[in-house]
Structure 1
Amino acid sequence: MNPGGTPGTPGVVVVTGVSRFLGAHVAARLVADDRIARVVGLDVSDPAPELAPLLDGVERVRADAGAVGSVIADLAADAVVHLALVTAPDQQHGGRTAMKEQNVIGTMQLLAACQRAPRLRKLVVRSSTAAYGASFRDPAVFTEDTEPQAVPRGGFARDILDIEGYVRGFRRRRADVTATVLRFAPFIGSTADTTLTRYFAQPVVPTVLGRDPRLQFVHFDDALEVLHRSVVEDHAGTYNVAGAGVLALSQAIRRAGRVAVPILEPGLSGAAGIARTLGFGRYGLDQVDLFVHGRVVDTSRLIQEYGFTPRSTAAAFEDFIRGHPDRTVLGSDRLHRAEQAILDGIRQVRAAVRERP
């Protein structure tokens, strides 16, 4: 590795959130780039055993949000890649309160540290297309300049709006720093491990009765490519990152060889309970609204600026299917449990409606 870095390429790159799936893979990719002198990973916790080998060559520093300022200053960082975001309350001990503390307060403290870092010249921030929200008033396609039609219900989407607001303030104060915000569509692919991939990997998939939203994904490897280019090249601004084209939810479920379980929309929050009953995990309001309304974004700005076109949504989803070849559907016992859970949810909704004044 070149100890001095390559002209035009950051010498010291700090990556937050390296104990998680995305952060570990990004750090590993940057370490493999001989143009970068040092890659330092910041996180308050250790990585899972399966991620630890990816961090060979990454200098790891245990630091929470409160200590990140002194760490970035001591490292004389040239670039910071901020990936330490929690996308769902169940990913963080302490629920929604801890999630907001990590996402919003943690980003505020990180940006304050970046503002005081004299050598810093590049900031890359992970964002999400959840910033656009999801409602029946949405346009068919969002561009980077589209404003949300309504305040999102989900905690992660609201956090994203706050984070992007703080980044805009940072840009005004540090115009000398190239600040890049990447609004990623949901990750998919044979290696991706997210709430969404677990949703499609389960034998029975909760859906909304009468709804068939249009969905858009980005292949995990393409997300890594865009993040890498954002570090070694200069791309100031905000960019949608997604694969071209769409898949209806019904199409995606059929292609994955799964069984859809329609839920009445007023009782959709009960889908989380059904999933828990069947042992499939939980879904927050961000995912629920996505499965009701869908979301599609325009990626022309990314393609033109980066000279890179992510593979299509359909191709990315096909790679996910190849990586999850088990197409076994529910057996009779689990199907009976699913049907019973659905009927119980419908009865609860009807009872709640009858009790309203």
Structure 2
Amino acid sequence: MGRVVLVTGVARWLGGRFARRMQEEAGVDRVVGVDVVEPEHSLGGAEFVQADIRLPQIAKVLAETRADTVVHMDLAGAALGSLPTGRHDAGGMSRASVKETNVIGTLQLLGACQRAPTVRRLVVKSTTSVYGSAPRDPAVVTETTPSRALPSGGFAKDAVEVEGYVRGFARRRPDVAVCVLRFAHVLGSRTDSPLAEYFALPVLPTVLGYDPRLQFVHEDDAVEALRLGACEPRRGTLNSGTFNVAGAGVLLLSQCARRLGRPTVPLLLPALTWSGSALRGLGLTDFSPEQIRLLTHGRVVDTTQMRETLGFHPAFSTAEAFGEFARGHGPGLLPPGALARTVDRLAAALPRRGRAES
């Protein structure tokens, strides 16, 4: 009998894509998708089980399916934008409800996995937001770098708690291979996240005096990294442990704005915080304190373990992932081509002026 893979969070676009991809994997006989509502997109040949991981019924699902691999993707990024249409009223979903899904849901799932003798592999989709963003952070953060300022709230704080519970599970079930994938911000043509909502604004508010470095992961690469974590390791690789996952290279926030063709409005930090609260109140984007810190200090992670231990080499760089996202969201108020030509003309003119004055 082949392997049985259970995937949580399949009502989200990325969870559905991963469920479809695992059906093509050699040795996988059955893929079971779990979510609180039926997905609006196709799961291919995967079975769908409507269940809430916050409730004890998830243990019954594990027992009945006899899943040997569990891929946990049911972590909500925010009250806005991270949930599929029809799953919840995103504008009305409280922070308490999001936290309950993330933390209580994960605890219930881990408890069910601990009692399920068939489970042999657990993959958890986490985030590089667990490192926080602080002014004195190292230029590049590794998986073992201690955080100087742990996230104080929101999805990032939930992810820190979730990872702590996963480490506890790994100690209690040493026979289970546990893989935690800390993704940089996932972008693509269908991405829906708080950062994607920020980049979709017609004008981008920024913090005066700061131009943070950012990393991204293409949604295709995110699916492939999850697949590697869920499959038997190839020779010379190991898919248990904690891994940063990001495309090669970095982009400055100003470069992102130019590629989108969107003007920026530099604001003092208190003004940006007020603007973020106003945008969040209008339901335009989830401008959380964690996102404001990211847009102030940025975050860059080391991906050596991803390449050398997990054996994963992303097909898209950070710039390429952002480029596809930008193409999918159309030109902004300042068409990128025209903006680039203007910047080039200004750059070419400045040296000539310098030579003329000398």
Name 1:252's counterpart in structure 2: 256
| 2:12 maps to 1:17 | no
Q: Distance in 2 between matches of 1:154 and 1:245?
A: 28
Paired residues of 1:241 and 1:299 also in contact (CA < 8 A)? yes
Q: CA deviation at 1:198?
A: 2.5
Q: Distance in 1 between matches of 2:78 and 2:147?
A: 20
Q: Structure 1 stretch 228-237 or stretch 275-284: which is displaced more? A: 275-284
AA aligned to 1:78 is D
Q: Distance in 2 between matches of 1:266 and 1:130?
A: 22
Equivalences, count: 318
Paired residues of 1:128 and 1:185 also in contact (CA < 8 A)? yes
**1:82 maps to which of 56, 72, 88:** 72
Structural mapping, 1:29-40, within 5 Å: 29-40=21-32
User: What are the Cα deviations for residues 31-54 of structure 1, in whole angstroms up to 9, with x where unaligned?
Assistant: 23343111101111122x3xx22x
| 2:338 maps to 1:316 | no
Name 2:173's counterpart in structure 1: 174
Paired residues of 1:187 and 1:196 also in contact (CA < 8 A)? no
| 2:108 maps to 1:109 | yes
Q: Distance in 2 between matches of 1:226 and 1:303?
A: 11
Q: CA deviation at 1:154?
A: 3.1
Name 1:122's counterpart in structure 2: 121
Name 1:60's counterpart in structure 2: 48
Q: Distance in 2 between matches of 1:172 and 1:220?
A: 31
Q: Structure 1 stretch 33-42 or stretch 114-123: which is displaced more? A: 33-42
Name 1:303's counterpart in structure 2: 307
Paired residues of 1:14 and 1:42 also in contact (CA < 8 A)? yes
Distance 1:209 1:164, change over 3 A: same
Q: Distance in 2 between matches of 1:155 and 1:204?
A: 24
Q: CA deviation at 1:263?
A: 2.2
Q: Structure 1 stretch 206-215 or stretch 308-317: which is displaced more? A: 308-317
Q: Normalising by structure 2, what TM-score?
A: 0.84
| 2:290 maps to 1:286 | yes
Distance 1:120 1:279, change over 3 A: closer
Paired residues of 2:263 and 2:333 also in contact (CA < 8 A)? no
Q: Distance in 2 between matches of 1:276 and 1:296?
A: 26
Paired residues of 2:280 and 2:287 also in contact (CA < 8 A)? no
| 2:245 maps to 1:241 | yes
Name 1:347's counterpart in structure 2: none
Q: Structure 1 stretch 313-322 or stretch 140-149: which is displaced more? A: 313-322
User: What are the Cα deviations for residues 51-100 of structure 1, in whole angstroms up to 9, with x where unaligned?
Assistant: x22x1311111111211111111111110000000111335554111111
Distance 1:276 1:145, change over 3 A: closer
Name 2:59's counterpart in structure 1: 69
Name 2:331's counterpart in structure 1: 326
AA aligned to 2:141 is F
Q: Secondary structure at the match of 1:37?
A: strand
Q: CA deviation at 1:195?
A: 2.1
Gaps of 5+ in 2: 84-89, 234-238, 336-358
AA aligned to 1:19 is A
Q: CA deviation at 1:273?
A: 4.3
Q: Structure 1 stretch 26-35 or stretch 285-294: which is displaced more? A: 26-35
Q: Secondary structure at the match of 1:221?
A: helix
Paired residues of 1:203 and 1:329 also in contact (CA < 8 A)? no
Q: CA deviation at 1:179?
A: 0.3
Runs of 4 or more off by more than 3 Å in structure 1?
A: 90-94, 273-280
Q: CA deviation at 1:258?
A: 0.5
Paired residues of 1:214 and 1:295 also in contact (CA < 8 A)? yes
Distance 1:100 1:278, change over 3 A: closer
Q: Distance in 2 between matches of 1:99 and 1:194?
A: 14
Name 2:354's counterpart in structure 1: none
Q: Distance in 1 between matches of 2:26 and 2:282?
A: 47
Q: Secondary structure at the match of 1:253?
A: helix
Q: Distance in 2 between matches of 1:72 and 1:238?
A: 24
Q: Normalising by structure 1, what TM-score?
A: 0.84
Q: CA deviation at 1:277?
A: 8.3
Paired residues of 1:154 and 1:286 also in contact (CA < 8 A)? yes
User: What are the Cα deviations for residues 123-147 of structure 1, in whole angstroms up to 9, with x where unaligned?
Assistant: 0001100010111121111100011
Q: CA deviation at 1:197?
A: 2.1
Q: CA deviation at 1:217?
A: 0.8
| 2:139 maps to 1:147 | no
Paired residues of 1:204 and 1:329 also in contact (CA < 8 A)? no
Name 1:334's counterpart in structure 2: none
Gaps of 5+ in 1: 6-10, 331-357
Q: Distance in 2 between matches of 1:56 and 1:189?
A: 21
Q: Secondary structure at the match of 1:179?
A: strand
| 2:276 maps to 1:272 | yes
